Amino acid sequence: MLLFAVRRLASAVLVLFAISVLVFLIFFATPGVDPAARIAGRNADPATLAQVRHSFGLDRPIPIRYALMMRHLFISRDLESFVNRGAKVIPQIVQATPVTLSLVLGAAVIWVLFAVLMGTVAAWRRGTVADPLIMLAGVVGISLPVYWLGEVVNLITQSRLHGSVFSWVPPLGYVSLTDDPGQWALHLLFPWLTLAVLYAGIYARLLRSELVANLNEDYVRTARAKGISERRILIRHALRCSLIPIVSLFGLDFGALVGGAALLTEVVFGLPGVGKLTYDALQTVDLPMIMATVIYAAFFVVLANAVVDVLYARLDPRARHA
Amino acid sequence: MSAGPWRIAAGHLARNRAAMAGVAVFVVIALACLAAPLYAEHVAHTDPFRSNVSGTTVVDGRTVQVLAPSSTGLGLGVTPIGPTWDPGHYFLGADNQGRDVLARLLYGGRNSLFIGLISALLCCLIATAVGVLAGYAGGPVDALLSRTLDVVWSIPVYLLAICLSVILLTSGLRLGPITISAGSLWVPILIIAVVYVPYVARPVRGQVVALRNRDYIQAAIGTGASDVRVMRRDVLPNILPTAIVFVPIMMALDMLTESALSFLSVGVQPPDASWGTIINDGLGLLYTRPAVTIAPGLCIAATAVALNVLGDGVRDALDPGAR
């Protein structure tokens, strides 16, 4: 088990290295792209371009530029923005992380609760109207563009019904958990719900199909033959096994969301998280900022992946030898 | 390849009422979007790509300005005309450049559907090729391809797509004989197709690995059939259902991704429109003219629901185990 964990971690480090190379190449070695032209601005004369190229080390060979960039990112952590000269990238990411974590953690609790409820009830009520209705809700959940849903939620809670039903909804923004836990939750309530809709749909659909497959397994027949009640079989036997693939998917999604996949939700609700940082950098085409946030994102995904695989191996011994 | 299993699957699909409803909704939306020029020219008499800042229109027999001076706040800026519910004049109102929202919606839908369809097909094609190659070849080829897919999949899709868009939108792409100009629809198509390749290729590879150890494949190899022949005649037909199941689901996913990229202004570029860019146009008008935002979102959602329901139907029809 320990050996498995160590091996898994080593491969995670390798994947991270590959990602950093890939992202670096996308930004600084795409054929026909000149980052210096981007930094120097439109219509820059050749002398300015050459100067920019030199001051950013863009005239060096690619492996050296890669090493320089990684040193700025991970060792000296003093990578500077190309747009706001002097603004350090890493502290901004560190500052934005708690916002993103708050958003994703809350949403995760909501979506897992709803998904387990929806998936279990749908599988339990298979053959009745409840099953297709719940699954239709799931399909709608995965089909709504999340940023659009956020806009509509804002329209209702901040404008149309703000005078009556939703007068308690605070204006868009973020309040830190340590400042005021009540306001923190209140500000995040609708972002949580909006973000949870998509994932509740995905997980509910997955859980239902896993449950239905597990209910046809031999061990369920054995349990039935022993006279265990259907409800106990569903919850104690089938649900337990069906949750295993959910755990592995959850790790992936959680990592990706913390890494910035919650970008659209953060933008729509004005939450100053890592995704919003990426979005703002996008508006000004701030390459180091975008690159740093993406590599940071990949770091979370790879980490979450490794943790999930180790957990998975604890849950399911077969995975250790695969 | 006999028509037998395919005909059975088609029969199953045709009897699936939900899937057929999905097809119907999709066809209606697609036809409406295809008819965009007809509507713009002959019904609304408007050019949805030219700003119409000082234009006027007729509502209830009175001539009104399309962009009325704002009456709230400081009185700065303008408020575009809201929905008139009159198919001839600004049925869904105008955007902040005085352009007819319904006409733009129909034109935007053409791009959204086109990008979704082509990138889904492209993605499934590339993914099947990669998956079959990796799964069949095994060894170092498989290791290299699989690890590459893992690495690509470790970067959140939206972030990867954003990175690629930022780069390609400014300079276009020149890769050997292929040249794609920066504002082209092919930029988002290509990007969206590429970022989802691991999503499809990994399950395809898994199936090929399982198939490769089956007796009939071993027998085909044993009789001296070439690798290309085994892949084409024995592996591919068995993989095809898996790839086909992905097409409608991927199209829904690709359309949602396109709309998100366009919303972030790194997808479809003006003067072209898509449902995502129209939602972006509606941002500043959300509280005054919500129709500009709501209508394209409903279109995306309806199309995605239809495609996902169809996708479920196709899966049930092609996968006897799931029936």
The token pair at B103 is: 């006409």
Same domain, A217 and A291: yes
Same domain, A170 and A209: yes
Across the range A113-117, mean pLDDT stands at 94
Same domain, A238 and A127: yes
Across the range B220-226, mean pLDDT stands at 86
ipTM value for the complex: 0.86
Same domain, A221 and A112: yes
| Chain B hits for A290, Cβ within 8 Å | 162-163, 166
The token pair at B300 is: 């995306």
**In the predicted structure, residue B320 carries a pLDDT above the cut 70:** no
Highest mean pLDDT among B60-74, B113-127, B287-301: B113-127
Same domain, A177 and A304: yes
E strands in chain B: 56-59, 62-65, 67-69, 78-80, 173-175, 178-180
Same domain, A165 and A55: no
Would you call B178 helix, strand, or coil by DSSP?
strand
| Chain B hits for A297, Cβ within 8 Å | 155-156, 159
Phi and psi, residue B40, nearest 5°: -65, -40
Same domain, A153 and A119: yes
Has residue A83 been placed in a domain? no
Closest Cα in chain B to A138: B305
Least confident of A134-138, B155-159, B203-207: B155-159
Same domain, A206 and A308: yes
Task: Give per-residue pLDDT as tens, B31-40.
Answer: 999 988 888 7
Q: What integer pLDDT is reported at residue A33 of this predicted model?
A: 63
Q: Say which residue, A32 or B229, is predicted with more confidence.
A: B229
Has residue A163 been placed in a domain? yes
CB contact at 8 A, B236 and B132: yes
* Torsion over CA: A298, A302, A305, A307 (sign): negative
Residue A170 to residue A199: CA distance in whole angstroms: 25
Q: What integer pLDDT is reported at residue B269 of this predicted model?
A: 87
Residue B322 to residue B244: CA distance in whole angstroms: 15
CB contact at 8 A, B291 and B83: yes
Has residue A148 been placed in a domain? yes
Q: What integer pLDDT is reported at residue A201 of this predicted model?
A: 93
Q: What integer pLDDT is reported at residue B323 of this predicted model?
A: 46
Closest Cα in chain A to B169: A33
What DSSP designation does B268 have?
A: S
Phi and psi, residue B175, nearest 5°: -125, 100
**Sequence-ordered list of residues with C-beta below 8 angstroms from that of B149, at least 6 positions apart, any chain:** B130, B134, B197, B198, B201, B202, B205
Residue A239 to residue A120: CA distance in whole angstroms: 8
Across the range B166-185, mean pLDDT stands at 75
Same domain, A236 and A131: yes
Residue type, B137: A
Task: Give per-residue pLDDT as tens, A157-203.
Answer: 888 887 788 888 888 888 888 888 888 988 999 999 999 999 999 99
Q: What integer pLDDT is reported at residue B72 of this predicted model?
A: 59
Least confident of A31-35, A192-196, B10-14, B233-237: A31-35
Domain count, chain A: 2
Has residue A88 been placed in a domain? no
Nearest to B162 by CA among A142, A233, A251, A290: A290
**Sequence-ordered list of residues with C-beta below 8 angstroms from that of B38, at least 6 positions apart, any chain:** none
Nearest to A252 by CA among B205, B248, B157: B157
Q: How far is A159 from chain B (nearest CA, A)?
A: 6
Q: Is the pTM of this model over 0.90?
A: no
The token pair at B150 is: 């893992």
Least confident of A29-38, A215-224, A240-249, A302-311: A29-38
Same domain, A67 and A23: yes
Same domain, A63 and A202: no
Q: What integer pLDDT is reported at residue B75 of this predicted model?
A: 53
Q: Does B179 touch chain A (CB under 8 A)?
A: no
Contacts by B39-42, CB closer than 8 A, 24 or more apart: B39/B102, B39/B103, B39/B106, B40/B100, B40/B103, B40/B106, B40/B107
Phi and psi, residue A280, nearest 5°: -65, -40
Across the range B175-193, mean pLDDT stands at 82
Has residue A89 been placed in a domain? no
Element (H, E) at B314: helix B291-318
**In the predicted structure, residue A243 carries a pLDDT above the cut 70:** yes
Q: Rounded to an integer, what is the distance from CA B322 to the centroid of its chain?
A: 26
**Sequence-ordered list of residues with C-beta below 8 angstroms from that of A184, at least 6 positions apart, any chain:** A102, A174, A175, A176, A177
Instruction: Determine, for residues B156 and A144 on separate chains, whether the beta-carbon distance falls below 8 Å.
Output: no
Same domain, A252 and A184: yes
Q: pLDDT confidence of A43, banded at 50, 70, 90?
A: low
Across the range B174-190, mean pLDDT stands at 80
- Domain region containing A16: 2-76
Across the range A253-267, mean pLDDT stands at 85
Across the range A45-66, mean pLDDT stands at 75
Would you call A76 helix, strand, or coil by DSSP?
coil
Instruction: Determine, for residues A261 and B164 on separate chains, whether the beta-carbon distance falls below 8 Å.
Output: no
Task: Give per-residue pLDDT as tens, A145-168.
Answer: 999 999 999 988 888 887 788 888
What's the whole-number average pLDDT of chain A? 84
Across the range A261-266, mean pLDDT stands at 88
What is the dihedral angle through the alpha carbons of B160, B162, B163, B164, rounded to the nearest 10 degrees? 90
The token pair at A150 is: 């956020």
Instruction: Determine, for residues B279 and A27 on separate chains, whether the beta-carbon distance falls below 8 Å.
Output: no
Residue B310 to residue B19: CA distance in whole angstroms: 4
| Residue owning tokens 């059939």 | B225
Instruction: Determine, for residues B263 and A278 on separate chains, whether the beta-carbon distance falls below 8 Å.
Output: no
Residue A310 to residue A299: CA distance in whole angstroms: 17
Nearest to A146 by CA among B304, B272, B221: B304
**In the predicted structure, residue B213 carries a pLDDT above the cut 80:** yes
Q: What is the CATH number of the domain that holds A109?
A: 1.10.3720.10
Query: In angstroms, what CA-CA distances link A32 with A129, B91, B103, B165?
Result: 57, 44, 37, 14
**In the predicted structure, residue B122 carries a pLDDT above the cut 80:** yes
Closest Cα in chain A to B280: A148
Q: What integer pLDDT is reported at residue A319 of this predicted model?
A: 65
Q: How far is B263 from chain A (nearest CA, A)?
A: 8
Least confident of A176-190, A301-315, B21-35, B197-211: A301-315
Q: Of the candidates A46, A76, A106, which is a domain's last residue?
A: A76
Has residue A235 been placed in a domain? yes
Q: Does B154 touch chain A (CB under 8 A)?
A: yes
Q: pLDDT confidence of B101, banded at 50, 70, 90?
A: confident
Q: pLDDT confidence of A9, banded at 50, 70, 90?
A: confident
* Torsion over CA: B177, B179, B185, B186 (sign): positive
Instruction: Determine, for residues B151 and A18 on separate chains, whether the beta-carbon distance falls below 8 Å.
Output: yes
Q: What integer pLDDT is reported at residue B71 of this predicted model?
A: 62
Has residue A91 been placed in a domain? no
Burial string for A181-195 (b: 16+ CB within 10 Å, else e) reads eeebeebbbbbbbbb
Least confident of B87-91, B136-140, B153-157, B280-284: B87-91
* Torsion over CA: A43, A47, A48, A52 (sign): positive
The token pair at B74 is: 């400081």
**Sequence-ordered list of residues with C-beta below 8 angstroms from that of A204, at least 6 positions apart, any chain:** A114, A115, A118, A119, A122, A134, A135, A137, A138, A141
Q: How far is B114 from chain A (nearest CA, A)?
A: 18
Three-class secondary structure assignment of B161-172: HHHHHHHHHHHC
| Residue owning tokens 């084409």 | B232
B157-171 vs B186-195: helix crossing angle, rounded to 10 = 150
Has residue A118 been placed in a domain? yes
Task: Give per-residue pLDDT as tens, B51-95.
Answer: 777 777 777 667 777 777 666 555 556 777 777 777 777 778 777
Q: Of the candidates A18, A44, A76, which is a domain's last residue?
A: A76
